[in-house]
Amino acid sequence: MKNMEIERKFLVRGESYRELAESSSHIRQGYICSGHGRTVRVRIRDQRGFLTIKGPSDDGGLSRYEFEKEITLEEARQLMDICETGVIDKRRYLVKSGQHTFEVDEFYGDNAGLVMAEVELQSEDEPFEKPDFIGQEVTGDRRFYNSHMRKMPFCLWKGTIPSEFRHLELE
């Protein structure tokens, strides 16, 4: 299927990703609607706007349909005003590892203290090199979906993950 997103998510330990990053950007995103695994998301990444539609994921949470379209910054700001309650605020670091680039998200606000990395793949069984900061895999764990964290932020359940993955200095 065209526009299929295949990604794996991991908790991050330590802060070495910051030094290894080729670049970073600030992201704020809201959800126009979310439910039954489907989302319509508005994102402002630095000074650019995006509208993204995602379908439900497969049973393991590894792949799902994704459609993304760049929109104007003004359109994105207007759409943010009609989003559901709760905004995701994060800094994204891009870290190259072998043939892949890991997107490492450092969350702020009610999700402060959580740092996750994801890698996009061409196939579900594609091999990839894990950087040293990659920890426990959380692919398919809905607690770590941004659309879920806007409703049930990390500050409410951070005690459920090992302390090595809680970045308290970021809170």
Catalogue the active-site residues.
31
CB 167 within 8 A of CB 115: yes
Written as one letter, the residue type at 102 is F
* One-letter amino acid of 65: Y
Q: How far is CA 135 from the centre of its chain?
A: 16
Farthest-apart Cα atoms in the chain, separation: 42
Q: How far is the C-alpha of 53 from the C-alpha of 46, rounded, in Å?
A: 20
